[in-house]
Amino acid sequence: MKFSNTYHKLPNHFYAPSKAAHFPDPQLIRFNHSLSQNLGFDFSSKSDEELAKLFTGQYIPEGSAPISLAYAGHQFGHFVDQLGDGRAMLLGEVLDPEGKRFDIQLKGSGPTKFSRNGDGKSALGPVIREYILSEAMFHLGVPTTRALAAVSTGEIVYRDTPMPGAVFTRVASSHLRIGTFQFIASRNDVSALKALLDYSIQRHYPEIKNQENSALLFFQQIAKAQIKLIAHWMSLGFIHGVMNTDNMTITGETIDYGPCAFMDHFNFNQVYSFIDRNGRYAYGNQPKILMWNLSRLADCLIPLIKADEKTAIEMLNHELSLFPKMFEAELNHRMALKFGLRYQAGFEEILECWFNYLQSEKLDFTLSFRNLSKILKKNDNSFFPETPQFKKFESLWRSKLSNEQKLQEKMDAINPLFIPRNHQVEKSIQEAIRGNYALFHELNDVLTHPFSEKAEFSIYSLPPNNEEKVTNTFCGT
Question: For residue 320, with 0-12 CB atoms within 10 Å meaning exposed, 13-18 middle and 19 or more buried, which class applies?
Answer: middle
Cα separation, 327 vs 292, in Å, equals: 13
What single-letter DSSP state applies at residue 7? G
Q: Concatenate the DSSP letters of all residues of 344-412 into one string.
A: -TTHHHHHHHHHHHHHHHT-BHHHHHHHHHHHHHH---TTS---HHHHHHHHHHHHH----TTHHHHHH
Task: Tell me the CB-side half-sphere exposure of residue 297, using CA atoms within 13 A.
Answer: 31
Cα separation, 450 vs 249, in Å, equals: 25
Spatial CB neighbours of 83, under 8 Å, sequence gap ≥ 6: 71, 72, 73, 75, 114, 179, 183, 246
Cα separation, 288 vs 100, in Å, equals: 32
- β-strand pairing of 261-262 with 238-239: antiparallel
| Active-site residue identified among 85, 119, 189, 246 | 246
Q: Which among 178, 140, 186, 135 has a CA at the least distance from the CA of 30?
A: 135
Cα separation, 223 vs 291, in Å, equals: 9
Asked if 246 is an active-site residue, the reply is yes
Q: Concatenate the DSSP letters of all residues of 183-208 into one string.
A: HHHTTT-HHHHHHHHHHHHHHH-GGG
Active-site residues: which are they? 246
